[in-house]
Chains A and B, each alone.
Chain A
Amino acid sequence: MIQLEQVTKTYPKASRPSLDNVSVSIDKGEFVFFIGPSGSGKSTIIKMLLHEVTPNKGRVVVNGKDVTSMRSWKRPHFRRSIGCVFQDFRLLPNRTAYENVAFALEVIGKTKAVARRVVPEVLELVGLGGKEHRYPHELSGGEQQRVAVARAFVNRPLILLADEPTGNLDPDTSIEIMRLLDRINRTGTTVVMVTHDSNIVNQMRRRVIEIESGRIVRDQARGVYG
């Protein structure tokens, strides 16, 4: 599903590479944590999987598509098979929960009728049934992140990327979000999550890949934060 083959990425003006000869293979349906200190290169991996940055060396393959050589005009279509969740939610403040999710569908060409059928379903799935018409500022942090997850998942992507999705949430709310991601993973969606949160990693007991200074120092099948 996801392959990084000897990937090296050095940003312009940086003294050392963000990723240094990294090789990772992630299968379909896996749930993988990337952990490591700030600046270790975790977020660069997410950006690479989204075709936001391209490696200097090596090859990145996502969903059977070689992202390394992908032309930028193909990026939009490529991204439709990837859902994405961030620490800061990235919701549109002037739209309701329903409209935020529907927006993601409509801008990729789905009709309003499709949105009317699919959006309530996915909001129900993330546990926001009955709160469709609340604006982001009327929702708690955890609820906002649920909207973001709903938006990422509404298109039934093959891969869900989560960049510190619990970074702004309290521990209890974080656990709820993790349960949600776990449920999404069980539908067969590959989940890749970057996190600092040792609690969560230790509770989930999933594959853990630890990165330090751009190198993989640990890759453990049922790991803990350590």
Chain B
Amino acid sequence: MRMKYVLSEVLVGLWRNVTMTIAMIITLGVSLTMLGASGLIYTKVADMKDLYFENIQVSIFLKTDISEEDRAALGSRLEADPLISQVTFVNKDEAFQRFQEMFRDSPDLLSAVKADQLPESYRLNLVDPEQYKSISEQYSSAAGVDQVVDQSQVLDKIFNLFTAGQNVALAAAIAMAVAALLLVANTIQVAAYSKRREVAVMKLVGASNWFIQAPFVLEAVVAGLIGSVLGLGALVALKKFLFDDALSALQGLFAPVSWSEVLLTFPVMAGVGGLISAVTAWVTLRFYLRV
């Protein structure tokens, strides 16, 4: 019977101030969506780093006037280097083919560049992609080397972009969370005020503190849980309509986001949403009811 009493009080409480309840749930939902999104971006960036760094190449571009001996010497030096797992030589024709493929949509550029204008290069796969710096130091001053280019430099820029996106989502999540917490605190105050007579009687006749607090705290928890369901809905919609549809052209660029990963954010969002709401409600009650 006491459980029934507490639960009916929760429903009455949520319904009593329904506009405020909706505002609370929406802010909680948006905040949790941002939190879930930033979590997903974080795991994706980690996945993509693994994926990309595995295939990363360092290119050593050669001067056009390099002599045969220098080129052969450099080639055998690279073959012998323990930091390098694989060496491929790209001559002018192959370079031109790659160039044509890469820029097949820009005929102006294609017609402006002749085959012998492109440099020859060695493409290196490193044992440890992080070792790029020492490769660069060793070989950039070798005879006939024009420049050493590391793809990871470019990738780092892309990843920085993702990390920035993740930080923006996280910052938005925190800002919305603050707004949500203030709303929870306010809702609980209003609820406590509208039930002040009951609370006074309960305190007077010796109802236990948890029994007095439980309906209020559960009210906040239920709002937090509904908010996390909203958050899950938003993430599902984001994956379906943004990621799978609108951005499907870029799919090769991103590591794919699976449904299970989206669903796995739900327990996290629900836990965070429920816990934070509960703690806020409880702290509010400590100040407001002094129980």
Contact = CB atoms under 8 A, between A and B. Distances in A.
Contact of B206 (A73, A93, A106, A108): A108
A96 to B, nearest CB: 14
A107 B1 contact: no
Contacts of B203: 76, 79
Contacts of A92: 197-198, 201
B207 interface: yes
B2 A103 contact: no
B211 interface: yes
Q: Which of A93, A108, A111, A151 has the most CB of B within 10 A?
A: A108
Contacts of A50: 204
Given A90-B197, A92-B197, A79 B1 contact: no
Contacts of B208: 76-77, 108-109
A78 interface: yes
Nearest to B202: A107
A73 B208 CA distance: 8
A65 interface: no
B200 A90 contact: yes
Contacts of B212: 107
Interface residues of A, number: 23
Given A92-B197, A92-B198, A80 B204 contact: no
B287 interface: no
Interface of B: 1-2, 5, 197-198, 200-209, 211-212
Interface of A: 50, 73, 75-80, 82, 84, 90, 92-93, 103-104, 106-109, 111-112, 151, 155
24 contacts: A76-B203, A76-B206, A76-B209, A77-B208, A79-B203, A79-B204, A79-B205, A84-B204, A90-B200, A90-B201, A90-B204, A92-B198, A93-B197, A103-B198, A103-B201, A104-B205, A106-B2, A106-B5, A107-B202, A107-B211, A109-B2, A109-B211, A111-B1, A151-B205
Given A79-B205, A107-B212, A155-B205, 4 more contacts: A76-B203, A103-B198, A107-B211, A109-B208
